Amino acid sequence: GAVVSQHPSWVICKSGTSVKIECRSLDFQATTMFWYRQFPKQSLMLMATSNEGSKATYEQGVEKDKFLINHASLTLSTLTVTSAHPEDSSFYICSADDRSNYGYTFGSGTRLTVV
Amino acid sequence: SQQGEEDPQALSIQEGENATMNCSYKTSINNLQWYRQNSGRGLVHLILIRSNEREKHSGRLRVTLDTSKKSSSLLITASRAADTASYFCATDANTGNQFYFGTGTSLTVIP
């Protein structure tokens, strides 16, 4: 079946630094990928829709200058958390539509801790 | 917000019992999906039901959809300890391909 690989699976960074998270579709092409954020014991909140070759579409309340999304190819989308703060610590998950009509495929998530 | 709500928030049952989780949403949809998430892990797709379907089965899972009430239910029969996880419903807005997740139900199956 379709596989989405997310890297890294966990990262610890210092306040003020930037962190890049990669989301790759391994055996299919994804013109659209989605980035979610999940705080402990809460649901997934859609942050943005990543569109290959064009600008990402951000959900209301998500700062596009802080969460930079690049979808440069049909198999790779990246999320960069810029000038990270402790409140950005969260679980970030990406997903892609594998066109199988059986739902979207999710990555395994990235646990970000900002210290 | 388009996020749906699920109830109960938490459910604890004995192994072998059935577990039922409910999801309510706000806007018209094309599809509704159910996902499972083990603690600290990614999501696993369980089942997709389209807006013109009323019921769907997959193994021990049974999903119903009532578009007039904007609600769905997930039934897990003959539960196992390995079913312990959080379960989320996700709905797409009628006009787009983004999916929004419900608040989730944390299921604990006691051996």
The rounded percent of chain B whose pLDDT value lies above 90 is 69
Q: Using beta carbons and an 8 Å cutoff, which residues of A are at the interface with B? A: 6, 32, 34, 36, 41-46, 49, 91, 93, 95, 97, 101-109, 111
Q: Using alpha carbons, select from A32, A34, A31 the residue that is nearest to residue A6.
A: A34
Per-residue pLDDT, averaged over B14-23, amounts to 97
Q: Across-strand partners of A91?
A: A38, A111
pLDDT at B92: 83
Query: Which tens digit of pLDDT belongs to each residue from A36-80?
Result: 999 888 888 999 998 888 899 999 999 999 999 999 899 999 999
Give the B window 45-104 contacts with A, CB below 8 Å: 45, 47-48, 88, 97-104
| Residue B38 near residue A93, CB atoms below 8 Å | no
Task: Name the residue of chain A whose CA is nearest to B96's CA.
Answer: A49
How far is the C-alpha of A61 from the C-alpha of A50, rounded, in Å? 16
Contact between B101 and A49 using a beta-carbon 8 Å cutoff: no
Confidence class for position A2, pLDDT limits 50, 70, 90: confident
Query: Which tens digit of pLDDT belongs to each residue from B65-99?
Result: 999 999 999 999 999 999 999 999 998 876 566 78
Would the pLDDT of B54 be above 90?
A: yes
**Partners of residue A106 in chain B, C-beta under 8 Å:** 35, 42-45
pLDDT at A101: 58
| Residue B14 near residue B54, CB atoms below 8 Å | no
Would the pLDDT of B3 be above 80?
A: no
Averaged pLDDT score across all residues of chain A: 91
pLDDT at A102: 60
pLDDT at A53: 85
- Tell me the Cα Rg of chain A: 13
How far is the C-alpha of B101 from the C-alpha of A17, rounded, in Å? 30
| Residue A82 near residue A68, CB atoms below 8 Å | yes
